[in-house]
Amino acid sequence: MSKAGPPRHDPVPIGEVAEPPFVRLPDPSRIFAERAERFAALASNHPLASYLLFLAALCEAQHKAQDGALEPELPPADAIARAREFNMPPLDRNRFTASAEFDATFGRLLGLAEAIEKPAAAAEALARVAGADAAQRDAMIRNVLADSIPVEHLADHVYAAAAMQLHFARLATRLDDKRLVPVGDGACPACGAPPVSSMVVGWPRAHGTRFCACSLCGTLWNYVRIKCTICASTAGISYQEIDGGPEAVKAEICDSCKSYVKILYQLKDPALEPVADDVASLGLDLLVREAGYRRGGVNPFLLGY
């Protein structure tokens, strides 16, 4: 593993001024299908190939589960306005309550997951989740939203997390992006969840800027570079990468809070995807953790690692 130090900011192309939007809301009709494609592409000759292919199929199930699904209800307009007034996320994950629409979509996702080729442990976990009663499923959902998963039930919660990602992405896409405001460091302005990773993008009028990617709803929010995405410190920030590994994937390390979140340089590799490439670069996690840093990003597909 090598220590790269703070990266040089990539120049903005001549004639283009970087004026990034504060947020880019998810598009549920594309995000899960594109994530599935990326997982499948990353599986080629990868040590985690079987797991990446399983996740590709699960993301495809998330995509298909939307067909004919009822739209989840947004919070009332006055609640959304009140959240904005007090710099709170309008889809506050801590206030989530299951609905008939959510239960139906969760059930459809589980049904589609039955056809996925999976290891025995994942099949057993799926059977447990499918057979769980309302109270047991609610407990799983609470664990996912609190980022507190019981070690003995990690596999079960992968399915619950997939359902929650789908639900919150379908809600977030209907928000007014111009009405969202910062709600705190390391928190999604749409739902309040932590980032899974961040990306330096090459979008028009946003070239070289950084966006955090929400681990729950998939919203991207603009965040300055060389600043800890967890504690906001600008001191003691460094970057680690695996010698001989992909140059477009690094760990942004903070010596102030002793945490790290991966940063993906999408402007160098447009195929990078914040969830899939985070999983595929697990080797970087293992090396950075050996150096004494804790993972700051949250990825439900890396439960147990």
Task: Identify whether residues 63 and 120 lie together within a single domain.
Answer: yes
214 closest CA partner among 206, 205, 222: 222
Tell me how far apart the alpha carbons of residues 151 and 37 are, in angstroms, rounded to a whole number. 29
User: What percentage of the chain has pLDDT greater than the value 70?
Assistant: 93
The residue among 73, 79, 274 whose CA lies nearest residue 179 is 79
Residue 188 located in a structural domain? yes
Q: What is the pLDDT of residues 44-103, one digit of tens each?
A: 999 999 999 999 999 999 999 999 888 999 999 999 999 999 999 999 988 898 889 999
Q: Is 16 part of a structural domain of the chain? A: yes
The number of domains in the chain is 2
Beta-bridged to residue 19, according to DSSP, are: none
Residues of the chain with pLDDT under 50: 2, 4-15
Domain end call among 122, 153, 177? 177
273: tokens are 């995807």
In the structure encoding, which two tokens stand for residue 112, read together? Answer: 């589609």
The pLDDT tens digits of the residues spanning 154-171 come to 899 999 999 999 999 999
How many CB atoms neighbour CB 68 within 10 A? 7
Residues across the chain? 305
Q: What's the CATH code of the domain at 267?
A: 3.90.1670.10
Domain that holds residue 220: 2-23+179-302
Phi, psi of 256 (to 5 degrees): -75, -45
What is this structure's pTM? Answer: 0.91
Q: Tokens standing for 202?
A: 């090459």
Do both 213 and 139 map to the same domain? no
Verify that 69 and 168 share a domain, yes or no: yes
Same domain, 134 and 193: no
Q: How many CA atoms lie within 13 A of 273 on its CB side?
A: 23
Whether residue 64 sits in one domain with residue 50:
yes
